[in-house]
Amino acid sequence: MGEQGGRTVLAVLGAGTMGLGITSLAVGHGVPVVLVETDRAKVGRAREAVAAQLRMARLMRALPEDRERGELLTTTSLADVADVSLVVEAVTEELPVKAEVLAGAAALTGPRVPLVSNTSSIPIDELAGHVPDPARLIGTHFMNPPYLIPTVEVVRGARTGADALETLVGVLGELARTPVVVGDGPGFVTSRIVHPMINDAIRVVQEGTASVEAVDALMQDCLGHRTGPLLTADLIGLDNLADSLRVLAERTGDPRSAPCELLLRKVRDGHLGRKSGRGFYDYGKAQL
């Protein structure tokens, strides 16, 4: 699969929660996707997971009804991204892992193909030092689930080029997403503000001040938080949240961002949120 008659072809690297969500968004808007995942078990489940997200999105009228689904290629080989229009990296929130994947994608794709990191906390300019042409690298922060939340945080690093930004904004337009462009820094805007707040909410539960349900009810009904911080944590994935908080704590020195013990205990116990079937709430069975 390559560029088809001038049409956009997206590569998504990583079939975790966000990789699958971004893939579903693109396929649902008729954009072909090459989904790369080195874990063969995850590759085997990817099509079913994307199909389930597409069904839910259509039930919620979150996708255009007049477009055929984009073609989906699932693969374990990074070499299959050679002819795509844009690469979105959505692997685990660890600098060495992201750097290796982005460098590999940079070597396989053309010089005008943007490399997009869907990181939640790692500064884009840190990642840019690991690719041959830093001007190609730009950040996005899709929210979960991507098909339901129409605004995307776009992070322009100090070395991000105008061409990469223009191409990414154009692709987001094809996906009916609204970009909000911000500058670089640990956590950018959304994670820098929201993730420590969620950590504080978990700490309130840890200390016995209030139940999970009470915290979410107060934040929703009194302060207008759409889902409540603890339900949001389950949607993010508690392992992903803990990783993001570690990045923030290391790079800002803010002790408030250090993952609290209750969060770490849930991660150790495998209670990772909606994707595992249990986090701060019980979902009955794994969702992916």
User: What's the pLDDT at 2?
Assistant: 45
Contact between residue 231 and residue 280 where contact means Cβ atoms under 8 Å apart? yes
Residue 138 has pLDDT above 50, yes or no: yes
The pLDDT of 221-230, averaged and rounded, is: 95
- Ordered structural domains, the chain, with CATH: 10-183 (3.40.50.720), 191-276 (1.10.1040.10)
Look up the pTM and report it: 0.91
Mean pLDDT, residues 225-237 taken together: 95
- Alpha-carbon torsion (64, 70, 76, 80), positive or negative: negative
Query: What letter represents residue 108's amino acid?
Result: L
**1-31 pLDDT, tens digit each:** 444 545 899 999 999 999 999 999 999 999 9
State the pLDDT at residue 7: 81
What pLDDT digit, counting tens, does each position of 151-181 carry?
Answer: 999 999 999 999 999 999 999 999 999 999 9
Average pLDDT value for residue range 113-139: 96
Q: DSSP class of residue 260?
A: P
Per DSSP, what are the bridge partners of residue 72? 33
Report the alpha-carbon distance of residue 108 to residue 121 in Å, rounded. 26
For residue 52, the model assigns a pLDDT of 95
Task: Kindly state the average pLDDT of the residues 218-235.
Answer: 96
Q: Given this model, what pLDDT does residue 6 score?
A: 58
pLDDT for the residue 234 = 97
Work out the mean pLDDT of the chain and round it to a whole number.
95
| C-alpha–C-alpha distance, residues 184 and 117, integer Å | 12
Is there a contact between 195 and 241 (Cβ–Cβ < 8 Å)? yes
